[in-house]
Structure 1
Amino acid sequence: MPKMGHLLLSVHIATFLTALPGNVLAFHALLRQVRRRHPTPADVLLLNLATSNLMFLLALLPFKLNEAAESDRLPCFPCTVASFLTCLAVCTGALFLAAVSVDRYLAVAFPLGYYVARRPRHAAMASVVLWAVSSLNLGVAYAIEWWINKGDGGDGAKKNNTTPVPLPPTTPRPSLTCYLNPNADQLGVLVRVRLEVFVVLFGLPLLVCCFCYVNVVLVWARLPNAGRRRRLRAVGQALGTLWVFALCLGPYGVCRVVGAVRQDDGSGWSEVALLAGSFNACLDLVVFYFSSAAVRSSLNSCFKRCLIRAAEAKPFITIR
């Protein structure tokens, strides 16, 4: 495995170990909140966002560990499923971030109508629609990739019309990736589908988030009786969400546009873009913290318990 591959794997493992405990805690807090009698629509949307983060973490790391093992190349079907789940989690996370921003905008800009008409079942129905839209768009893209792979004669050595030969111990093995080598006609279809996925699952959610959070900050700034803490919470939520789009989801979506412009499959930079997308699971904790009182309470209590246990664990020093 090349040095760059070792570096990427190390970052993926560090992201997994950092993001998994926080997302599990947020998922548990939001699930308890949703199971109560009067959950809010934001709780339902944030629960789905935490679910997409956990799916991303659990689908990505085993896939990368298999690549690091430098064993045989994954068969086509497991490779496609793992890649589909990873992309589904990233794209669905972008849609739910946009849905949370719409919920916050309606609550601030139209408070009376929002509090009269809000129902948790509306958020649940919207969640089902968002999962369906993301699954259908990515399903079409991966169905085309599957068709391309079958058209090229299968996976692994069959795609390149070569016979697998055992490598000597001193010979570096090829990079274990799942990207295809489509011909010109197939690439034209694949690039157009990926560009449509970028517009629907990245471009539109980004525009919605920018519009909603800019207006949320402006409304809070105009309210004379708004508390300083509530204003800072609104600004923190807006900056956290836009930071997630810029740092994490942006590179993952831009690589699709660059691939469409350059007319290639984007395999040269998709690994780095996926690495940036993995930080999404970490930075979403900022959105959870500023958006949900249940998550704030759980994180604060967990932090206080850790401090108490650290203070109680006094070292025993024996002087002879």
Structure 2
Amino acid sequence: METFSEDPMGNNTLNCTIDHSIHQILSPVVYILVFVVGLPANCLSLYYAYLQVKAKNELGIYLCNLTVADLLYIFSLPFWLQYVLQHDNWTYDELLCKICGILLYENIYISVGFLCCISIDRYLAVVYPFRFHQFRTMKAALLVSCIIWTKEILTSCLVFTHGEVSKDAESHMVCFEHYPIKTWEHNVNFYRFTAGFLFPFSLLLFSYYGILRVVRKSYGTQKKKKIQIKRLVSSTIIIFLVCFGPYHVLLLMRSIFENSCEFAAKIFNIYHICLLLTTFNCVADPILYCFSSENTYQDFAKIRDTCLKYIRGVETEDKGTYPMNTPEISSPFVVTWTTEPVRT
């Protein structure tokens, strides 16, 4: 590798010595776990999202895009795994470093975008069941999906025009790591925090507050179903906060306070732990949005039972599957509740 980038202010990575040992200890475990669990889970998620599209359900469009974003990032994990196992030494060319970095950020912000689309769609369906049908069609979902992908791709092209491979104090070629952060990164990080996290999270809270308010006042909804809906909505917000919240808080802190190697070294470990939390979004999405549906759960249970029979090599008694005491279609993201007219 011959190219490396320098900060125009003279603060380049070569002059900043930071202990990267957390990458060799924690990162490989997370990357392997997410790859092994996330790849088959998202493949199943993509299949069930396709069934939603086939049934002319606009939510299937959002679920498909969400899953594709997760899969693209999962396919980049072997490169990141090799990178951290080689003590943060990027042995490929800079173009591949940019591609892997773009897939990392695309996974975060495209996931956030489609989570907001799903929450707004459900809000309109539950709170205004007889209005705004023009915003809840297949064509509208395709248009919104194209806008989200185009926006994030253009943003990445504008942001990642700088050199993303730089040399550290040990002469390793590091990918997407600048310590302290460069001047141009400050404004980008402020944009990521406000437009990429704070605003979408506000939309998420607004949408689900409206959903819970309507469900709470609905006398036609059974108590157990109300509890299930509340749990699923709460789980969505918790996953959003856990996967994306810590990273964006640390990103904001770096942009405000990081102007020396000393601060960068102090915050390095916690920042990268928070960055690893965003990776678990690839596992959380299919579990929450697909396997929470009773029909999908029963199909998954059948696949599990078939695999167990094959492994044991004997025919076992069919014990059937057990309902989860969920709403009519238990996930609030693939639901048609009683407040919404039946769609054909």
**What CA RMSD, in Å, does the superposition of the two structures yield over aligned residues?**
2.9
Query: CA contact under 8 A between 1:234 and 1:290: conserved in structure 2?
Result: no
The residue number in structure 2 matching 1:152 is none
Query: CA contact under 8 A between 1:138 and 1:197: conserved in structure 2?
Result: no
3-state SS in 1 of match to 2:26: helix
* Aligned residue identity for 1:236: R
Cα distance between partner residues in 2 of 1:101 and 1:7: 33
Cα distance between partner residues in 2 of 1:52 and 1:238: 22
Q: CA deviation at 1:309?
A: 4.4
Cα distance between partner residues in 2 of 1:179 and 1:255: 15
TM-score, length of structure 2 as denominator length = 0.74
The residue number in structure 1 matching 2:36 is 17
Cα distance between partner residues in 1 of 2:160 and 2:104: 12
Q: Is residue 2:240 matched to residue 1:221?
A: no
Cα distance between partner residues in 1 of 2:291 and 2:122: 11
Map 1:118-133 onto structure 2 (within 5 A): 118-133=136-151
The residue number in structure 2 matching 1:306 is 304
Q: CA deviation at 1:315?
A: 7.2
Q: CA deviation at 1:114?
A: 4.4
Q: CA deviation at 1:264?
A: 4.5
The residue number in structure 2 matching 1:282 is 283
3-state SS in 2 of match to 1:12: helix
Which deviations, in whole Å up to 9, do the C-alpha atoms of 1:57-116 show, x marking residues without a partner? 112332222331458534332212211111111111011111110001000000112457
More helix per residue: 1
Cα distance, 1:116–1:233 mapped onto 2, change above 3 Å? farther
Structure 1: tracts of 5 or more residues without a match? 150-154, 165-173
The residue number in structure 2 matching 1:206 is 201
The residue number in structure 2 matching 1:48 is 65
Cα distance, 1:221–1:2 mapped onto 2, change above 3 Å? same
1:32 is aligned, of 51, 71, 81, to 51
Which deviations, in whole Å up to 9, do the C-alpha atoms of 1:188-228 show, x marking residues without a partner? 32211221122111111100001100110111000101234
Which deviations, in whole Å up to 9, do the C-alpha atoms of 1:128-173 show, x marking residues without a partner? 1111222223332222x43xx6xxxxx444x87x9x6xxxxxxxxx
Cα distance, 1:264–1:235 mapped onto 2, change above 3 Å? farther
Map 1:1-320 onto structure 2 (within 5 A): 2=21, 5-34=24-53, 36=54, 38-70=55-87, 73-74=90-91, 75-114=93-132, 118-143=136-161, 145-146=162-163, 155-157=165-167, 176-181=174-179, 187-228=182-223, 230-264=225-259, 268=268, 269-289=270-290, 296-310=294-308, 314=312
Overall identity of the aligned pairs, in %: 19
3-state SS in 2 of match to 1:306: helix
Cα distance between partner residues in 1 of 2:126 and 2:291: 15
Aligned residues: 288
The residue number in structure 2 matching 1:171 is none
Query: CA contact under 8 A between 1:188 and 1:263: conserved in structure 2?
Result: no
* Aligned residue identity for 2:25: H
Query: CA contact under 8 A between 2:62 and 2:117: conserved in structure 1?
Result: yes
Q: CA deviation at 1:3?
A: 5.9
